[in-house]
Chain A
């Protein structure tokens, strides 16, 4: 069994139940692919333990912002960023910070389910979970339970992950991310490839995670943002147009472009 994370953590130090999840602050963030600037001086404040939704049409830079938070953007050849992203008070772009250690505090789930195809369900959950404490059986059960997948897979933990349906694979990816006990969870259009029932499961899950984790979810689905988030940020062409409490933004948008988007006139 191969495990990604080998580094032990101080007991309790990052346990969501004991320490509050960090506030994530994006400050003056710009991001480039080569010479093309896809994010312009974006600032977003994600409160501790809250769910922040970033909405906007395809290509507006919302996924790139998300991928900057765990420094995944820079792994693309030619990609770079400027600005700061603070986890509480520590800049994840500080020169002394190893991006690997940042990514171990921040879980991420992608648009397409990405289980390791050569590993079993159990092995996938444990991929990054060695340091999480407790026996492996407990970690696996808790993580799958939180991802609302346990009852469906408990009798076939040793089956290959690819034998699951796409919706189950996506919840497995959520369980895999949660098993590493992150402080922050990034969701990049997590339901875009899913059927309605799987989508509902994921949304319920996001709703239940509030408080324990700081969640940032990127979606192009306005209704989804309204259902799961506390605050919503609307992006267009690399700029933040409007950010507000979700209820306010959905019902009384200030900017005509926001209104046009949420009423379905474009995007």
Chain B
């Protein structure tokens, strides 16, 4: 083979892979553009009331998505608050503390959570979680522990609620947070751990002083990747959140999320105004999810590259 032909084959290879790869950013751009174009009429007609209005009344052409936005953000935040500490603890246990066989087994089990289809989470939510919340957890929190005095834990215990949605989401994002956290902890150089151990650190002190601070940005990134998943999760949330289009005044109250709103209404959307309003909601969801994911990637990446350079 002549060197010219070698050069040509390399160039062909480059062009081929580049073409395949360029599909990915192109898709993101195309999807974003389509959503924006489709949402544009609604944005022009309703303006900021799309974001701030609390009435979603299709016949009267009122499209205020605030309850769905609030529902998405609060249920995701709740999921994060529950799953982030557990996920990081799982990672620390599996990577740093447990004997290798036990650690691997626990890690594999947690990873398996990610394999459960979200509709199965939804069914489990309906048949197991909701009755349990209705009959045990909600009365316990509200009456036995007396938390009913606070608005967050007051109101009738229906079952379907922000709380249910937050719990299901927490379980669903746990494996993602744990997996990224494990990867990030594994990227902390051994030299860093040995420096702490050689100074007489206990295992816990080593994790606290040498491992977690070094991994911090990546851990936050992992948590935000989990947040990205929670924001967009549709099926399981739709099945347990209650689908009530009103601002939730309690964790026990049925609520709505943007993803659930879209899934429920798109099929029966009548009229251009309705479709356009739904597209606007989709745009908000897309924007928030992309933002959170991008930020998360940057944070996770910072740990990897920083320690690729630091001598290990």
Contact = CB atoms under 8 A, between A and B. Distances in A.
6 contacts: A72-B197, A75-B197, A116-B209, A118-B216, A127-B199, A176-B199
B209 A5 contact: no
Given A110-B198, A118-B216, A128-B199, 17 more contacts: A5-B199, A72-B194, A72-B197, A72-B198, A75-B197, A100-B201, A103-B199, A107-B198, A112-B312, A114-B194, A116-B196, A117-B310, A118-B213, A128-B200, A128-B201, A177-B198, A186-B198
A65 interface: no
A28 interface: no
A13 to B, nearest CB: 16
Contacts of A176: 199
A39 B216 CA distance: 38
A262 interface: no
Contact of B214 (A77, A108, A118, A177): A118
A70 interface: yes
A54 interface: no
B120 interface: no
Contact of B198 (A101, A103, A116): A103
Given A112-B191, A112-B311, A2 B199 contact: no
Report the contact-size class of chain B (Cβ under 8 Å from the partner). Answer: 20 to 34
Among A4, A101, A103, A116, chain B packs the most CB atoms within 10 A around the CB of: A4
A173 interface: yes
Interface in B189-205: 191-202, 205
Interface residues of A, number: 30
A180 B200 contact: yes
B290 to A, nearest CB: 30
Interface string A109-123: 010101111110000
A110 B195 contact: yes
A2 B205 CA distance: 9
A75 B194 contact: yes
Given A4-B205, A118-B213, A118-B214, A100 B191 contact: no
A250 B193 CA distance: 36
B218 to A, nearest CB: 13
Given A2-B209, A4-B209, A77-B100, A116 B195 contact: yes
Contacts of A127: 196, 199, 209
Contacts of A72: 194, 197-198
Contact of A100 (B100, B195, B202, B214): B202
A4 B199 contact: yes
Interface in A170-198: 173, 176-177, 180, 186, 193
A236 B191 CA distance: 25
Interface in A95-141: 100-101, 103-104, 106-108, 110, 112, 114-119, 127-128
A101 B7 CA distance: 62
Contact of B213 (A108, A112, A116, A193): A116
Interface string A68-80: 0010100101000
Contact of B200 (A5, A77, A112, A193): A5
B197 A103 contact: yes
Nearest to A75: B197
Nearest to A127: B199
